[in-house]
Amino acid sequence: MPLPHFLVMPYPILGHINPLLQFSQVLAKHGCKITFLITEFNQRRVKNAIEHLGSDIKFVTLPDGLDHDDDRSDQPKVILSLRNTMPTKLHKLIEHINALDGDNKITCLVISKNIGWALEVGHNLGIKGAVLWPASAIALASFESIPRLIDEGIINSETGLPTRKQEIQLLPNSPMIETVNLPWCKLGKKFFLHMAEDTKTLKLAEWWLCNTTCDLEPEALSLSSRFLPIGPLMMQSDDTNKSNSFWEEDSTCLDWLNQHPPQSVVYVSFGSLAMMEPTQFKELALGLDLLNKPFLWVVRPDNENKVNNAYPDEFHGSKGKIVGWSPQRKILNHPAIACFISHCGWNSTIEGVCGGTPFLCWPFFSDQFYNMSYICDVWKVGLGLDKDENGMISKVEIKNKVEQLLDNKDIQTRSLKLKEITLMKTNGGQSSKNLEKFINWAKE
Ligand code: UDX
């Protein structure tokens, strides 16, 4: 039986590209043929990753329909541009690949989210589809629950915003969440309407593969038999030494970490999208100074431009190191790391769990509030940072919570235990069995 040929297509942000690249590496290890579709704009930005991955994975590109200087951090604009310009080009590209590769035609399309229309293109060409969901399974479950939340009068059908402020439980045994923190609530009406539509198209996929394990989010996974946990992908892809990023990694921070004793450094990073406002940025800088502990702080170049000159005059940062982009997976496995101040993006969450690192949670939007609930209330491997009456996280709050976290031996023990349980699911565990099940389905 010929091995499956996958066309893998992420929505063009790093939080989606990374897990889909890891997934492609895992499939390639099983002998599958992979064509990875990336936008022309991003091809230049992930050049390193492409070079590292060698010939196992073939890269192809399509334009995203935007001008070179357009703001690609405006997600509704990107989503709309892709939907308006890409479907016909994707159709032609698949036909072209299949014509060239007659004996090994594309048999399965795997996408992330926000581009559900691609499954329709595949469907029209008789190609099977699957989704590799790049966020938590509970986020997928909440998008799936939108029609029910509308019917029950919990959210408004036009805006997605809560009809009143309340705490709800999406599924029996899942963590409680304030309705204002549902994954779409901070992203605007356009995004909500798109997501509601996109989730309907995702139903064309036979599998919704989740980068999680059956122990981490059992309630969310029980919502549908299509949800298949195959994570943590980073542990199966063996790519911790490879750099898949838009920004140049500053690996001098590893030498710097090597000079510090075990569990002494506070790592601070907010992923690839979150932008911190200048006033909050200053407060964080002063909070890190107050800690009187070594810290490693990632200030992305695009956020640094925005907060230009915002380091407060009083900030000396003498105990810290600031980098533009870190080799995060290596950092989180470094013995010198004591805890992780994180925005709780799903990739960072999984990476912190696999590093056995206690979290201090600072969510911004999307699934990050749900991920914080899992970290603090379900797995109990971290603490949340509380905002003051002005909506700010104060320097004193940062100092106090880091101290509380580092004094809490129970959280440290549970973090190591959770790491152990999570890693057991890979390499012969349930996640690898699920992955085999998926590959067998793709072969049929
Ligand atoms: C986005 C959404 O914001 C998030 O809510 C969703 O769960 C996934 O998609 P992002 O905000 O970028 O992702 O966060 P995250 O999911 O944590 O992904 C960031 C990735 O960048 C991680 O793989 C992390 O290792 C990497 N990273 C981050 C680095 O390699 N170096 C850094 O300095 C910072």
**Residue 8 and residue 122: Cα distance in Å, rounded?**
12
Which stretch of 113-117, 148-152, 380-384, 428-432 has the lowest confidence by average pLDDT?
428-432
Ligand 1 atom closest to Cα of residue 272: 12
**Residue 361 and residue 343: Cα distance in Å, rounded?**
6
| Cis peptide upstream of residue 232 (ω within 30 degrees of 0) | yes
At 322, which CATH number?
3.40.50.2000
**Based on the domain organization, do 307 and 218 belong to the same domain?**
no
- Whether 247 is covered by a domain: the verdict is no
Give distance in angstroms: CA of 3 to centre of ligand 1. Answer: 32
**Residue 43 and residue 103: Cα distance in Å, rounded?**
27
Tell me the pLDDT tens digit for each residue of 153-164. 999 999 999 999
**Based on the domain organization, do 435 and 344 belong to the same domain?**
no
Which amino acid, 192? F
- Whether 246 is covered by a domain: the verdict is no
Which amino acid, 388? D
* Number of domains the chain is built from: 2
Tell me which residue has its CA closest to atom 9 in ligand 1: 15
Tell me which residue has its CA closest to atom 12 in ligand 1: 272
Residue 51 has pLDDT above 70, yes or no: no
Ligand 1 atom closest to Cα of residue 326: 33
204-227 mean pLDDT? 94
**Based on the domain organization, do 407 and 429 belong to the same domain?**
no
Contact 326 CB / ligand 1 (< 6 Å): yes
- Whether 236 is covered by a domain: the verdict is no
ipTM of the complex: 0.99
Contact 237 CB / ligand 1 (< 6 Å): no
Residue 308 has pLDDT above 60, yes or no: yes
**Based on the domain organization, do 117 and 24 belong to the same domain?**
yes
Residue among 76, 6, 82 at smallest CA distance from 40: 82
**Based on the domain organization, do 101 and 215 belong to the same domain?**
yes
**Based on the domain organization, do 27 and 144 belong to the same domain?**
yes
- Whether 210 is covered by a domain: the verdict is yes
146-158 mean pLDDT? 96
Residue among 53, 15, 17, 22 at smallest CA distance from 37: 17
Ligand 1 atom closest to Cα of residue 135: 7
CB 50 within 8 A of CB 43: yes
Binned at pLDDT 50, 70 and 90, residue 301 comes out as: confident
- Please give the structure tokens belonging to residue 328: 């995060």
Residue 50 has pLDDT above 90, yes or no: no
Ligand 1 atom closest to Cα of residue 346: 7
What is the pLDDT, as a whole number, of residue 428? Answer: 78
31-42 mean pLDDT? 94
**Based on the domain organization, do 335 and 382 belong to the same domain?**
yes
CB 178 within 8 A of CB 167: yes
Tell me which residue has its CA closest to atom 34 in ligand 1: 271
Q: What is the largest CA-CA distance in the chain?
A: 67
Contact 14 CB / ligand 1 (< 6 Å): yes
Give distance in angstroms: CA of 351 to centre of ligand 1. Answer: 10
Binned at pLDDT 50, 70 and 90, residue 101 comes out as: confident
For a pocket test of ligand 1, which of 347, 361, 366, 368 has the largest count of ligand atoms closer than 8 A to its C-beta? 347
Q: What's the gap between Cα 285 and its chain centre?
A: 25
Binned at pLDDT 50, 70 and 90, residue 195 comes out as: confident
Tell me which residue has its CA closest to atom 3 in ligand 1: 345
Ligand 1 atom closest to Cα of residue 332: 25
Buried b (16+ CB within 10 A) or exposed e, 405-417: bbebeebbebbee
Kindly state the percentage of the chain with pLDDT values over 70: 96
Give distance in angstroms: CA of 328 to centre of ligand 1. Answer: 9
**Based on the domain organization, do 167 and 18 belong to the same domain?**
yes
Give distance in angstroms: CA of 344 to centre of ligand 1. Answer: 8
What is the pLDDT, as a whole number, of residue 53? Answer: 67
Which stretch of 98-112, 234-248, 333-347 has the lowest confidence by average pLDDT?
234-248
Total residue length of the chain: 444
- What are the distances in angstroms from CA 337 to CA 150, 255, 260, 263, 357? 44, 13, 9, 5, 8
Which stretch of 3-17, 70-84, 217-231, 303-317 has the lowest confidence by average pLDDT?
303-317
**Based on the domain organization, do 387 and 293 belong to the same domain?**
yes
Give distance in angstroms: CA of 365 to centre of ligand 1. Answer: 13
Residue 67 has pLDDT above 90, yes or no: yes
Residue 49 has pLDDT above 90, yes or no: no
- Whether 130 is covered by a domain: the verdict is yes
Radius of gyration of the chain (CA): 21
- Whether 316 is covered by a domain: the verdict is yes
Residue 48 has pLDDT above 70, yes or no: no
What is the pLDDT, as a whole number, of residue 119? Answer: 97
**Based on the domain organization, do 415 and 432 belong to the same domain?**
no
Terminal-residue alpha carbon distance, the chain: 8
For a pocket test of ligand 1, which of 18, 210, 241, 272 has the largest count of ligand atoms closer than 8 A to its C-beta? 272
CB 38 within 8 A of CB 12: yes
Give distance in angstroms: CA of 373 to centre of ligand 1. Answer: 18
Give distance in angstroms: CA of 327 to centre of ligand 1. Answer: 12
Contact 212 CB / ligand 1 (< 6 Å): no
Contact 325 CB / ligand 1 (< 6 Å): yes
Range of the domain at 373: 252-423
**Based on the domain organization, do 310 and 418 belong to the same domain?**
yes
**Residue 436 and residue 27: Cα distance in Å, rounded?**
10
Binned at pLDDT 50, 70 and 90, residue 217 comes out as: very high
DSSP 333: T
**Based on the domain organization, do 390 and 433 belong to the same domain?**
no
- Whether 239 is covered by a domain: the verdict is no
- Please give the structure tokens belonging to residue 77: 């604009």
Residue 56 has pLDDT above 80, yes or no: no
- Whether 240 is covered by a domain: the verdict is no
